[in-house]
Chains A and B, each alone.
Chain A
Amino acid sequence: DQQVKQNSPSLSVQEGRISILNCDYTNSMFDYFLWYKKYPAEGPTFLISISSIKDKNEDGRFTVFLNKSAKHLSLHIVPSQPGDSAVYFCAASGDNDMRFGAGTRLTVKP
């Protein structure tokens, strides 16, 4: 069972516009959420995280929103840049468990 779902396998946006990547989870024990970015032939790298005691965390162009009642989080990238083109993984942890989503491939077109 996929406890963390990223329903959009891919997303394409124009440079300068907003990118919104979505993630849903099912396990109510998850209390910490992270986004990772992955370039080809490299390991994932941490991007931004949010604790369940918050509903928003911002770091430069990246903002993560958490809606606990809907078990949904999203990553906003504003403005999007061509260098943001990568696969983005959502991760959820809690109760000694960590699960990753299947990833969303973001393409930012110049």
Chain B
Amino acid sequence: DAGITQSPRYKITETGRQVTLMCHQTWSHSYMFWYRQDLGHGLRLIYYSAAADITDKGEVPDGYVVSRSKTENFPLTLESATRSQTSVYFCASSESLGQAGQTSYEQYFGPGTRLTVT
């Protein structure tokens, strides 16, 4: 199916464990993003990638690692999960970051992964 998918949809893990959230898109979009959604904070950017092998930090990168060996995949790894990382994680992709004057460069979001760290 075309689109952007995330797996797993739900995950419960223990403090200190490593966990990887997967994201896959079929549009060949250059840009991919990871956000976390927390009550009162909206969506906060964790990491983004402009192309394969190019990644950059967002607003809240601490405790997370990303890689992008292929254009279509952008996994997010919590190397040692903490309770503060309990959240809903969204992956997104877009054609570009856009410039003023462009008509649209919206991001397409996946369905989210609800992660609980106990």
Contacts and interface: CB of A to CB of B under 8 A. Distances in A.
A49 B42 contact: no
A45 B109 contact: yes
B40 A41 contact: no
A52 B100 CA distance: 6
B45 interface: yes
B90 A43 contact: yes
Interface residues of A, number: 27
B105 A32 contact: yes
Contacts of A32: 98-100, 102, 105
Contact of A46 (B40, B43, B107): B107
B106 A34 contact: yes
B111 A31 contact: no
A51 B42 CA distance: 22
A30 to B, nearest CB: 10
Interface string B97-118: 1111110111111111000000
Interface residues on B, range: 20 to 34
Most buried by A among B44, B98, B99, B102: B98
A6 B99 CA distance: 24
A17 to B, nearest CB: 26
Contact of B104 (A6, A49, A89, A96): A49
Nearest to A44: B109
Contact of B101 (A4, A45, A51, A91): A51
A25 interface: no
B38 to A, nearest CB: 9
B73 to A, nearest CB: 17
A97 to B, nearest CB: 8
Given A32-B98, A51-B100, A103-B42, A43 B106 contact: no
19 contacts: A4-B42, A31-B99, A31-B100, A32-B98, A32-B99, A41-B111, A41-B112, A43-B90, A43-B110, A44-B43, A44-B90, A45-B109, A46-B106, A49-B106, A51-B101, A89-B42, A94-B100, A98-B45, A102-B41
Interface of A: 4, 6, 31-32, 34, 36, 41-46, 49, 51-53, 89, 91, 93-94, 96, 98-103
